[in-house]
Amino acid sequence: MSSKVVIYPGTFDPITNGHISIISRALKIFDRLVIAILNNPQKLPLFSLEERIQMIRDVLKDQRHLEIDSFNGLLVDYVIQKKTNVVIRGLRALSDFEYEFQMALMNRKLNREVQSIFLMTDYKWFYTSSTIIKEAASLGGDVSGLVPPIVCRKMKEKFGY
Protein backbone atom coordinates (compact mmCIF):
# COMPACT_ATOMS: atom_id res chain seq x y z
CA MET A 1 0.00 0.00 0.00
CA SER A 2 1.38 3.46 -0.85
CA SER A 3 1.90 5.85 2.05
CA LYS A 4 -0.49 8.74 2.48
CA VAL A 5 1.02 12.21 2.60
CA VAL A 6 -0.83 15.26 3.93
CA ILE A 7 0.10 18.88 3.34
CA TYR A 8 -0.19 21.30 6.26
CA PRO A 9 0.05 24.79 4.71
CA GLY A 10 0.34 28.08 6.54
CA THR A 11 2.39 31.13 7.31
CA PHE A 12 3.82 29.77 10.58
CA ASP A 13 5.04 33.21 11.66
CA PRO A 14 5.94 31.74 14.10
CA ILE A 15 4.94 28.12 14.81
CA THR A 16 2.74 27.87 17.93
CA ASN A 17 1.75 25.07 20.27
CA GLY A 18 -1.58 25.03 18.45
CA HIS A 19 0.19 24.16 15.18
CA ILE A 20 2.26 21.50 16.93
CA SER A 21 -0.86 19.89 18.34
CA ILE A 22 -2.41 19.70 14.85
CA ILE A 23 0.82 18.22 13.43
CA SER A 24 1.11 15.47 16.03
CA ARG A 25 -2.58 14.58 15.72
CA ALA A 26 -2.42 14.58 11.91
CA LEU A 27 0.54 12.20 12.07
CA LYS A 28 -1.71 9.71 13.86
CA ILE A 29 -3.88 9.63 10.72
CA PHE A 30 -1.37 10.10 7.88
CA ASP A 31 1.95 8.41 7.16
CA ARG A 32 3.79 11.59 6.37
CA LEU A 33 3.13 15.30 6.81
CA VAL A 34 4.65 18.19 4.89
CA ILE A 35 4.66 21.55 6.64
CA ALA A 36 4.33 23.90 3.68
CA ILE A 37 5.26 27.46 4.56
CA LEU A 38 3.85 30.10 2.25
CA ASN A 39 6.75 32.21 1.00
CA ASN A 40 5.02 35.51 0.53
CA PRO A 41 7.19 38.47 1.60
CA GLN A 42 4.21 40.79 0.88
CA LYS A 43 2.66 39.48 4.08
CA LEU A 44 5.56 41.20 5.89
CA PRO A 45 6.28 38.38 8.29
CA LEU A 46 8.04 38.98 11.58
CA PHE A 47 10.40 36.07 10.89
CA SER A 48 12.12 35.42 7.56
CA LEU A 49 11.35 32.18 5.79
CA GLU A 50 14.73 30.79 6.86
CA GLU A 51 14.08 31.71 10.50
CA ARG A 52 10.64 30.09 10.42
CA ILE A 53 12.08 26.91 8.89
CA GLN A 54 14.90 26.79 11.43
CA MET A 55 12.53 27.24 14.39
CA ILE A 56 10.26 24.46 13.14
CA ARG A 57 13.31 22.22 12.61
CA ASP A 58 14.51 22.87 16.15
CA VAL A 59 11.10 22.38 17.72
CA LEU A 60 10.14 19.25 15.81
CA LYS A 61 13.55 17.62 15.53
CA ASP A 62 12.31 14.44 17.20
CA GLN A 63 9.19 14.14 15.07
CA ARG A 64 9.62 11.55 12.35
CA HIS A 65 7.69 11.34 9.08
CA LEU A 66 7.86 15.08 8.73
CA GLU A 67 9.08 17.35 5.92
CA ILE A 68 9.48 21.12 6.16
CA ASP A 69 9.16 22.93 2.87
CA SER A 70 8.08 26.26 1.42
CA PHE A 71 5.92 27.15 -1.54
CA ASN A 72 4.67 30.05 -3.52
CA GLY A 73 1.87 30.26 -6.02
CA LEU A 74 -1.27 28.20 -5.74
CA LEU A 75 -1.54 25.72 -2.92
CA VAL A 76 -3.40 23.19 -5.09
CA ASP A 77 -0.52 23.17 -7.60
CA TYR A 78 1.94 22.58 -4.79
CA VAL A 79 -0.18 19.73 -3.43
CA ILE A 80 -0.21 17.97 -6.79
CA GLN A 81 3.53 18.57 -7.19
CA LYS A 82 4.01 16.72 -3.87
CA LYS A 83 2.07 13.80 -5.38
CA THR A 84 -0.79 13.88 -2.92
CA ASN A 85 -4.32 15.26 -2.74
CA VAL A 86 -4.97 16.14 0.90
CA VAL A 87 -4.59 19.41 2.78
CA ILE A 88 -5.10 19.63 6.51
CA ARG A 89 -5.91 22.76 8.54
CA GLY A 90 -6.75 23.37 12.17
CA LEU A 91 -10.08 24.97 13.02
CA ARG A 92 -10.46 27.21 16.02
CA ALA A 93 -13.60 28.96 17.17
CA LEU A 94 -16.24 30.35 14.84
CA SER A 95 -13.97 33.09 13.55
CA ASP A 96 -11.88 30.62 11.53
CA PHE A 97 -14.82 28.97 9.89
CA GLU A 98 -15.69 31.50 7.23
CA TYR A 99 -12.08 32.01 6.11
CA GLU A 100 -11.37 28.28 6.05
CA PHE A 101 -14.61 27.53 4.24
CA GLN A 102 -13.82 30.15 1.61
CA MET A 103 -10.29 28.80 1.11
CA ALA A 104 -11.44 25.20 0.95
CA LEU A 105 -14.11 26.03 -1.63
CA MET A 106 -11.71 28.10 -3.72
CA ASN A 107 -9.14 25.30 -3.63
CA ARG A 108 -11.85 22.86 -4.62
CA LYS A 109 -12.87 25.06 -7.52
CA LEU A 110 -9.25 25.26 -8.64
CA ASN A 111 -8.71 21.53 -8.42
CA ARG A 112 -11.45 19.07 -7.55
CA GLU A 113 -8.92 16.34 -6.82
CA VAL A 114 -7.57 18.18 -3.78
CA GLN A 115 -9.47 17.51 -0.56
CA SER A 116 -9.36 19.78 2.47
CA ILE A 117 -9.77 18.23 5.89
CA PHE A 118 -9.94 19.94 9.27
CA LEU A 119 -9.01 19.05 12.82
CA MET A 120 -10.69 20.93 15.64
CA THR A 121 -8.01 22.71 17.62
CA ASP A 122 -7.48 21.41 21.11
CA TYR A 123 -9.42 23.58 23.59
CA LYS A 124 -6.14 24.74 25.11
CA TRP A 125 -5.26 26.64 21.94
CA PHE A 126 -8.72 27.87 21.09
CA TYR A 127 -7.96 31.53 21.60
CA THR A 128 -4.37 31.63 20.31
CA SER A 129 -3.01 32.52 16.92
CA SER A 130 0.44 33.55 15.70
CA THR A 131 -0.92 37.06 15.22
CA ILE A 132 -2.31 37.57 18.71
CA ILE A 133 0.72 35.90 20.30
CA LYS A 134 3.03 38.24 18.38
CA GLU A 135 1.02 41.25 19.49
CA ALA A 136 1.17 40.25 23.14
CA ALA A 137 4.89 39.44 22.89
CA SER A 138 5.67 42.73 21.13
CA LEU A 139 4.21 44.56 24.13
CA GLY A 140 6.25 42.53 26.58
CA GLY A 141 3.50 40.05 27.47
CA ASP A 142 4.40 36.58 28.69
CA VAL A 143 3.44 34.08 25.99
CA SER A 144 5.29 31.10 27.43
CA GLY A 145 3.13 28.01 27.26
CA LEU A 146 1.58 29.18 23.99
CA VAL A 147 4.71 28.70 21.89
CA PRO A 148 7.70 26.41 22.37
CA PRO A 149 10.53 27.90 24.51
CA ILE A 150 12.80 28.33 21.45
CA VAL A 151 10.13 30.45 19.76
CA CYS A 152 9.57 32.43 22.95
CA ARG A 153 13.30 33.24 23.02
CA LYS A 154 13.39 34.22 19.34
CA MET A 155 10.45 36.56 19.80
CA LYS A 156 12.12 38.22 22.76
CA GLU A 157 15.23 38.74 20.61
CA LYS A 158 13.13 40.23 17.79
CA PHE A 159 11.31 42.59 20.09
CA GLY A 160 14.53 43.50 21.86
CA TYR A 161 13.95 42.53 25.47
Binding site for ligand PNS (CB under 6 A): 9-11, 38, 74-75, 103, 106-107
Q: Tell me the closest approach of the beta carbon of residue 103 to ligand PNS, in angstroms.
A: 4
Nearest to 69 by CA among 10, 143, 148: 10
Rounded Cα distance between 119 and 115, Å, is 13
The four Cα atoms 145, 146, 148, 151 give a dihedral, to 10 degrees, of -120
Choosing from 52, 116, 130, 154, the catalytic residue is 130
Q: Is 65 a catalytic residue?
A: no
Cα 9-125-136 angle, rounded to 5 deg: 90
Q: Is 4 a catalytic residue?
A: no
Closer residue to ligand PNS, CB minimum distance, 6 or 142? 6
Rounded to a whole number of angstroms, the CA Rg of the chain reads 16
Q: Is 52 a catalytic residue?
A: no
Closer residue to ligand PNS, CB minimum distance, 10 or 118? 10
Q: Residue 32: helix, strand or coil by DSSP? A: strand
DSSP 57-126: HHHTTT--SEEEEEE-S-HHHHHHHTT--EEEEEE-SHHHHHHHHHHHHHHHHH-TT-EEEEEEPPGGGT
Choosing from 52, 89, 92, 134, the catalytic residue is 92
Closer residue to ligand PNS, CB minimum distance, 46 or 74? 74
Q: Tell me the closest approach of the beta carbon of residue 131 to ligand PNS, in angstroms.
A: 9
Closer residue to ligand PNS, CB minimum distance, 52 or 154? 52
Choosing from 19, 52, 89, 154, the catalytic residue is 19
Q: Tell me the closest approach of the beta carbon of residue 52 to ligand PNS, in angstroms.
A: 11
Q: Tell me the closest approach of the beta carbon of residue 1 to ligand PNS, in angstroms.
A: 29
Question: Closest residue to ligand PNS, Cβ-based?
Answer: 10
Query: Known catalytic residues?
Result: 19, 43, 92, 130
